[in-house]
Amino acid sequence: MTPKTTTLSDSDLRAVGTLIEGHPDRIAAIAASLQQSGRVLESRVRGTSMADALPEGAAVRIALCRAQGYRRGEVVAFLVGARLTVHRVVVARCWPRRTALVTRGDARVFADPPLRADQVLGRVVAVRTTTAAWTPVPAPTPLTRTRGLVAAIATAVAAALASAFGARVAHGLAKVAYRLLLRARPACSATGG
């Protein structure tokens, strides 16, 4: 089944934006209504948290659907207050009565706080950058996977240090650890020496 796509004029979009801006309850209600209809939402990326896969200014298509069966590596759109965020799933857990997702921007050190199912709008199914063609969302790059591993180590360091030094100091130390780990180079050369 092909999802329905609705195109609004610029003036209609501004009117809707003015109506819902700064009102998370209105945004959530509209999103829930659209999720039931299986619609596709198009949006622009602002920021650099997904710069490897979704550069700033890129257009994305979000297939609106109820939280179900999200997998590690997929890119999802979710609401944090009144802000729409697009990040990659790093942990997905489903229980009979709830779903929990943990996401992280490809260019971020730390994962986002766990998401409730009602915060997730749907999957990002396509991206359009400078070309006119829509393409699937790129898979994580080796650099993205390395950042994820290093971020996990930095998070573990932060958790271990938090009880001794407090959360603020631990977070700062974990950022330093992350930067140092990314700068580390293998001891051998390309020739094996």
pLDDT digits (tens, 9 = 90+) for 100-143: 788 889 888 778 888 877 788 889 999 998 777 899 998 887 77
Give the β-pairing of 83-95 and 4-5. unpaired
- Per-residue pLDDT, 14: 64
Q: Is residue 86 part of a domain?
A: yes
Are 89 and 61 members of one domain? yes
Centre a 10 Å sphere on the Cβ of residue 130 and count the other Cβ atoms it contains: 7
pLDDT digits (tens, 9 = 90+) for 12-63: 656 666 666 667 677 767 767 766 667 788 888 888 888 878 988 888 998 8
Average pLDDT of span 176-190: 51
More confident: 146 or 91: 91
Residues of the domain holding 114? 4-138
The three-state secondary structure class of 174 is: helix
Residues shown for the chain: 193
Q: Is residue 103 part of a domain?
A: yes
| Number of independent structural domains in the chain | 2
Are 14 and 99 members of one domain? yes
CATH number at residue 91: 2.10.109.10
pLDDT digits (tens, 9 = 90+) for 162-175: 667 776 776 677 67
For residue 160, what is the enclosing H or E element?
helix 142-165
- Per-residue pLDDT, 45: 86
Which among 72-86, 92-106, 142-156, 175-189 has the top mean pLDDT?
72-86
Facing residues of 100 across strands?
93, 116
